């Protein structure tokens, strides 16, 4: 079982990167491929090795927290690997966990692939599990911070921007990307879709 891979990003697509590990290219699906493309040094991805009857897939994350949350999300009925990946593309782990703890369905249903029933199942199935898991790991969660979304018709951008900030993009870069994109997007666009558009904009300048 693969726990992590360390190598150079050889190729980037919308949903995955090809990681060159000692001249072997691994296709790794990851929440924010274009964020990894910024690095010219070796990157380390913590891997979830997903095996099913018709495919063997690798899902990779830059932190253990993302890897752990991804695996917890797979325990929820109705959430498969692609939806779980979209959740992590739409929000940082601590924000997603905080939303589950606070039963913030408004935030959760703005994440890609998450409807109201699935959001309710996330709260029911994971609230206690995530709380104890994060406490055991000594991780701090913004429990007192109430997550909010803008009322300007672009609520999805709030989640996308938060995830991009977690990748290290500065406010000035994100404001510039938003200025370039805001006239082309629709209010119903998901955070995942906005994040991919913004990453393309940030990557190409």
**Alpha-carbon torsion, ordered 81, 82, 87, 92, to 10 deg:** 70
In the predicted structure, residue 138 carries a pLDDT above the cut 50: no
For 37-77, the DSSP string reads: TT--S-EEEEEEEEEETTEEEEEEESSHHHHHHHHHHTTST
Per-residue confidence band for 51, with pLDDT thresholds at 50, 70 and 90: confident
The larger pLDDT score, comparing residue 101 to residue 24, is at 24
Taking the C-alpha atoms of residue 33 and residue 30, their distance in angstroms, rounded to an integer, is: 6
The larger pLDDT score, comparing residue 73 to residue 154, is at 73
Taking the C-alpha atoms of residue 118 and residue 109, their distance in angstroms, rounded to an integer, is: 8
Q: Which residues of 126-163 are buried (b: 16+ CB within 10 A; e: fewer)?
A: beeebeebbeeeeeebeeeeebeeeeeebbbbbbbbbb
In the predicted structure, residue 146 carries a pLDDT above the cut 60: no
In the predicted structure, residue 155 carries a pLDDT above the cut 80: no
Diameter over CA atoms, the chain: 49
pTM of the model: 0.68
Residue 134 to residues 35, 69, 85, 126, 128, Cα–Cα distance (Å): 25, 10, 20, 12, 10
Per-residue confidence band for 184, with pLDDT thresholds at 50, 70 and 90: confident
Q: How high is the pLDDT of residue 144? A: 33
Q: Residue 84 corresponds to which tokens in the numbers above? A: 């779980």
Q: How high is the pLDDT of residue 171? A: 77
């Amino acid at each position: 079982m693969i726990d992590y891979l360390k190598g150079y990003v050889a190729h980037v697509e919308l949903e995955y990167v090809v990681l060159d590990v000692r001249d072997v290219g691994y296709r790794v699906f990851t929440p924010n491929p274009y964020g990894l493309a910024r690095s010219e040094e070796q990157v380390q991805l913590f891997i979830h090795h997903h095996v099913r009857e018709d495919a063997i897939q690798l899902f990779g994350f830059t932190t253990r927290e993302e890897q752990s949350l991804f695996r917890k999300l797979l325990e929820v009925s109705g959430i498969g690997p692609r939806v779980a990946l979209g959740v992590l593309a739409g929000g940082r782990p601590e924000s997603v966990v905080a939303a589950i703890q606070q039963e913030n369905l408004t935030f959760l249903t703005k994440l890609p692939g998450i409807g109201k029933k699935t959001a309710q199942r996330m709260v029911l199935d994971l609230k206690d599990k995530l709380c104890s898991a994060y406490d055991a790991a000594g991780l701090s969660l913004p429990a007192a911070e109430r997550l909010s979304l803008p009322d300007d018709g672009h609520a999805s951008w709030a989640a996308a921007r938060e995830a991009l900030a977690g990748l290290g993009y500065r406010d000035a870069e994100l404001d510039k990307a938003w200025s370039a994109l805001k006239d082309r997007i629709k209010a119903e666009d998901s955070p995942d879709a906005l994040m991919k558009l913004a990453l393309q904009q940030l990557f190409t300048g």
